[in-house]
Structure 1
Amino acid sequence: MIKFTDVSFGFPQKDLYNEICFEIVAGDHAALIGSNGTGKSTLIDMIIHTDEYLYDGKIEKDEAVRIGYIPQFVKHETEDISAFDFLAKPFVELQQKSEAICAEMENAEDMDEVYGRYQKVLDEMDAIDAYNYDSNIRKELAIAGMTALEDTSVKKISGGEFKLLAIIKSMLLKPQLLIMDEPDVFLDFENIIGLSKLINNYEGTIIAISHNRLLLSQCFNKILHLENMELQEFPGTFAEYNQAMLETKVQMAEQATKDAEWIAVQEKLIEKIRAEATYIDNPAKGRQLKARVSYLERLQARQCKNPFIENHGYDFTFPEVERPEDFDPENAPVVISVKDYALSFDRELLKNVSFDIKAGEKVAIVGANGTGKSSMLKDIYESMKSDADRIGYYTQIFDDDPEQLSGGERNIKQLRALCESDAEILFLDEPSSHLDTYAQIALEKAIKEYKGTVLMVTHDFYTVANCADRILLLENGTVREQSGRAYRKSIYKKYFESDIFEAERIRVEREVRINALLRDGKWKEAKNVL
């Protein structure tokens, strides 16, 4: 279907790929992962618009393959039609086109030409199962958990809900290859669950850029890891790939230790030969010294790092906040107080919302798309920002970007700015969006270690489960409070048969522990942790 062989490409300001190779075959559900700014979005654009790029190497693409594409940002439909009619529109248009051509046949002078067009439309309809679009639409809405929106105008649904509708629409058109660029961005938790079910039920081939750990753990059977201009293809799940990388890292550390010991032996031998050559004028000694030096250089060159298992350098540390030695979290002062808050746009979203947040608390605002989470967070920040030296605000909305950074790189830039501030209270609006998994883990570590107060909006279940002491759940126009533990248990009971958070926690802790042991040169102990 798609095959890259020794493909190299870059822009004037940055090289992206160095002789990368991979293949996508029918049935693959491939996740494209890698650090922020490595060129993942450019790679999928090369697959779609191959002829627009000048590259070295070879790209083979079956031109008969129908490709569907879902970008990071989907333009919201402005026509006042129901969600069902929005999904049905391309099928209805095809049927109308078929009927119009049939009408032409009654008076056609060139019947062969008209029949050719008619047959082409019939082939299109067969390819997308257009005759059964009604039941297919309802089936996909049910899989995604969106049946209740069937008759709702698309103008009235949230941006996240509309993005999931756009994904359903693309899947209904049955492209043989569906390409998605961070399809989870800005989806609420329930819609991410719906997306995971849609991906797992999709019979075609998928390439998806994703940093979402829930999707990565549940949905894909092939991993394409782009890092440091190279690409590694792994036929298996994300968990299997992660385990393989840890094993490789430990093996390399073991080999590096043995290489270092052997190199030390060779260095001593070279010094001995060099000393002998200084006192003895013997051409054979000179040739022996040259050969040994050349051999040593080859050994040292072999010690280069694997581009896929290097440490990625994310180390966020939020500002130091002074607390008295007798600080008691239970009796800490209230630093954020909301009383009878209300929010309306074209309709009333929230009313009579009240809550307090104590110093040092980590509180997550969660809820469905369109319930007013980000707006409420911004309003609270605006009401307090006169005390700007104490407060930091992270926004998911970007100004113009003269540096042409990726979404993840822009987010990291914002986080580093917060780390350099003096903030004692942090307002974070979707802080893990666009971040690669290594950056997400570093962010969660920074939030947990921060002694200040955090109020954040997030749809990332792992961030909530790892960091939140308390949950503010926005539903039915008001706020319901839960402990972090109670919220986590309710999510498991509703959506999962096993404790996926615990599995992810164990995976991350094992990886962190192995990395720490390897930094201390303890590869034998690291081997026992695998």
Structure 2
Amino acid sequence: MISINDLTFLIGSRALYDEANWHIKPGDRVGLIGANGTGKSTLLKIIVGEYAPSSGSVSMSKDLKIGYLNQDLLSYDSHHSILHVAMEAFERQNQLHDEIEVLLKKIETDYSEEVLNKLSDKQQEFEALDGYNIEYRANEILAGLGFSTQDQQRPLNTFSGGWRMRVMLAKILLQTPDILLLDEPTNHMDLPSIKWLETYLMSFEGAIVIVSHDRYFLDKVVNRTVESRKGKLTAYAGNYTFYLEEKALRGEIQKGEFKNQQAKIKQEERLIERFKAKASKAKMAQSRMKALDRLERVEDVDDDNPTVNFSFKFTKPSGRHVVRIEQANKSYPNVHILENAEGVIEKGDKIALIGANGKGKSTLLRIIAGAEGFEGKCETGHNVTTTFFAQHQLESLHLDNSILEELQAFAPKHTDTELRSILGCFLFTGDDVFKKIRVLSGGEKSRVALAKSLTTDSNFLILDEPTNHLDIQSVNILIQALKQYEGTFIAVSHDRYFLDNVANKIWFIENKDIKEYPGTYAEYEEWNSKRPQPVATSIPFKAEKEAKPKAEEKKPASPNVQQQLKKLNDQLQKTETEIAALEGNVKTIETQLADQQVYQDPVKLEQANQKYLAAKHQLDNAQNAWEDLAAEIMELESK
């Protein structure tokens, strides 16, 4: 189908591809993967002829029909309805439709045999091309991608970039190409649309090449994986999970071969060193040196999965209740988001907020962050300090700063060593930290903004689409960071692997209320697949709302209350100091329990276990006392 032979592609003096080879066969469903900057999108552009290779060739049959979806299509603009734009895919059918309309008009006055024969021929061809069903097919695909019947009549230029991309995808799918080249097709898609696209592609009869960082999507759709790395293309005969297992196995074999070769090289070098000075053995030594020079070296295995080893901590823990939402109402013109919604976020919650686009996920995050007006209450608890990460924060990065300078300005309490350690976790190593923000890609800027968010002294994180623009490696790093984070967070993301690995609660907006599922994303999916799906109905706001009593003016606290508050705050501070000391004691005993001399001695082990249990009991009591004090303070402050 498509054959890539000895492909070399240079950017300046850097070889993005160096004699790479790949053969795409009919029926292949390939996931093209690799870190950002390894040339995946460039390779697709080379295949469709937008870029010319520096050397080598890309060959295919002349009549091969390619459907190519890329991010450049976001700039396509039209005043026509999206249904009309999608139906532009049926070029011949549309042409025939127009010609038939002209002939039908003509036949009103001209009954000649010539006109009748032309009309008959056009109608037969139109029917053979399934022309009478093209609008139905366009409706079906647009509906699958999230467009209502009403939306399909709206002009394309009234939609945002993400929705326009879906229209372009619909148009490409309607062309029924022999091979689909899809560059990040799930970007800007909500979970229902991603699932629909998975189902559609699984039944697609042609070949598919997908560049994606959504590993669940790849596992569902592809049957082969090709990794772009170090200028080469390496094929694996399975989906993404198979690729991970096979790569690990190949790595182990390569590591063994590398060790054996290194041992052999050292042995040969010792032998050469020993005999090269002896005249009788010099010829043999020279021969062995030449053989060593000709030896094809096995490379050591690189670690592609860096781990996060920075401890993300905050000065003060929050109270038990982090956020309480009561009787929240929010609407935009013609769209009701929330009506008398209730929700509570408790200390230690790791919440994934999921749902289709337009249901109000980002709006709810802004309400929680205090960045969106609404009716009702949204109160943060005692000692809650918040950081809000959203995509617009990429625009607030200072373009003339280096990456390190950006973090230094934002987190002056951290040392350069600490900041460089954080940046290393987000794949900025060595001199990378001195790169200017202005030269970074979208994914790199996202990593800088995320690193900034995790340097804050916040015990509550609000994360709106943190996985956008991140490659699989960077998503893994973010997962590790959030697993180590001891505070509370709520996150919106369409990356199901990310959600499944970080969340212990699921929130979703249904019937304009906040619903909660107390479990992981995988458990939620299983539960949701078995329950009756709610009918999408519009619940109108009440015509007459009960008159709300005017809020009483808050009187200043009496001297007696002020004294009580001061006393309680002093006790709270002492309890915090006590908790810190007890936590240190528990960690010390844990270290002792890991000591070989202790755990091999039954008597010492028993003593250490008793000390550990007693220290844990003291710590639990102190933490409970802290929560009681915090509750008393909040109650007094509200009077």
- Please classify the TM superposition score into its range, dividing by the shorter chain length: 0.7 to 0.9
Cα offset, 1:125, TM superposition: 8.2
Say if 1:408 and 1:311 are closer, same or farther in 2 by CA, change over 3 A: farther
Q: Is 1:488 equivalent to 2:522 in the alignment? A: yes
Which of residues 396, 403, 420 in structure 1 aligns to 2:391?
Answer: 396
Q: Is 1:136 equivalent to 2:137 in the alignment? A: yes
Name the counterpart of 1:514: none
Say if 1:70 and 1:350 are closer, same or farther in 2 by CA, change over 3 A: farther
Q: Is 1:343 equivalent to 2:366 in the alignment? A: no
Name the counterpart of 2:610: none
> Residue 3 of structure 2 aligns to a residue in which SS?
strand
Distance 1:98 1:59 in 2: 39
Which of residues 237, 255, 259 in structure 1 aligns to 2:261?
Answer: 259
1:380-429 Cα distance to aligned partner (Å, 9 max, x none): 335599xxx95444333443987554443333333333344444332222
Which of residues 297, 307, 311 in structure 2 aligns to 1:315?
Answer: 307
Name the counterpart of 2:420: none
Name the counterpart of 2:63: 64
Name the counterpart of 2:321: 334
Name the counterpart of 2:52: 53
Cα offset, 1:94, TM superposition: 3.5
Which of residues 186, 190, 203 in structure 1 aligns to 2:192?
Answer: 190
2:34 partner amino acid: G
1:338-375 Cα distance to aligned partner (Å, 9 max, x none): 44444333322223334332343211211111112123
Name the counterpart of 2:285: 289
> Residue 413 of structure 1 aligns to a residue in which SS?
helix
1:450-486 Cα distance to aligned partner (Å, 9 max, x none): 112222111222222211122221222221112124x
> Residue 391 of structure 2 aligns to a residue in which SS?
coil
Name the counterpart of 1:357: 345
C-alpha root-mean-square deviation of aligned residues, in Å?
A: 4.1
1:179 partner amino acid: L
Task: Tell me if the contact between 2:19 and 2:56 (Cα under 8 Å) persists in the aligned partners.
Answer: yes
1:230-249 Cα distance to aligned partner (Å, 9 max, x none): 11133433333333222211
Say if 1:47 and 1:413 are closer, same or farther in 2 by CA, change over 3 A: farther
Q: Is 1:370 equivalent to 2:358 in the alignment? A: yes
Distance 2:292 2:236 in 1: 33
Distance 1:452 1:13 in 2: 46
Alignment of 1:16-415 (within 5 A): 16-50=16-50, 52-72=51-71, 74=74, 81=81, 87-88=86-87, 91=90, 93-99=94-100, 102=103, 129-137=130-138, 140=141, 144=144, 149-153=148-152, 155=154, 163-164=165-166, 166-274=168-276, 277=277, 280=278, 282=279, 284-299=280-295, 302-305=297-300, 310-312=302-304, 314-316=306-308, 320-322=312-314, 332-346=319-333, 347-383=335-371, 391-397=386-392, 398-399=394-395, 403=438, 405-415=440-450
Distance 2:293 2:471 in 1: 36
Say if 1:478 and 1:60 are closer, same or farther in 2 by CA, change over 3 A: same
Distance 1:466 1:292 in 2: 53
Say if 1:379 and 1:490 are closer, same or farther in 2 by CA, change over 3 A: closer
Task: Tell me if the contact between 2:46 and 2:53 (Cα under 8 Å) persists in the aligned partners.
Answer: no
**Could you list the runs of 5+ residues in structure 1 that have no partner in the other structure?**
497-530
Q: Which has the higher contact order (CA 8 A, sep 6+)?
A: 1
> Residue 432 of structure 1 aligns to a residue in which SS?
coil
Distance 1:119 1:49 in 2: 37
Distance 2:441 2:40 in 1: 10
Say if 1:103 and 1:488 are closer, same or farther in 2 by CA, change over 3 A: same
Q: How many residue pairs were aligned?
A: 469
Cα offset, 1:492, TM superposition: 2.3
> Residue 6 of structure 1 aligns to a residue in which SS?
strand
Say if 1:343 and 1:77 are closer, same or farther in 2 by CA, change over 3 A: farther
Task: Tell me if the contact between 1:98 and 1:121 (Cα under 8 Å) persists in the aligned partners.
Answer: no
Say if 1:204 and 1:184 are closer, same or farther in 2 by CA, change over 3 A: same
Name the counterpart of 2:503: 468
Q: Percent identity?
A: 26
TM-score (norm 2): 0.63
1:59 partner amino acid: V
Larger radius of gyration: 2
TM-score (norm 1): 0.75
Distance 1:63 1:403 in 2: 42
Say if 1:461 and 1:54 are closer, same or farther in 2 by CA, change over 3 A: closer
1:197-232 Cα distance to aligned partner (Å, 9 max, x none): 010111222221112122111111222211121111
> Residue 433 of structure 1 aligns to a residue in which SS?
coil
1:289 partner amino acid: A
> Residue 484 of structure 1 aligns to a residue in which SS?
coil
Distance 2:253 2:79 in 1: 58
Distance 1:365 1:493 in 2: 16
Distance 2:388 2:488 in 1: 12
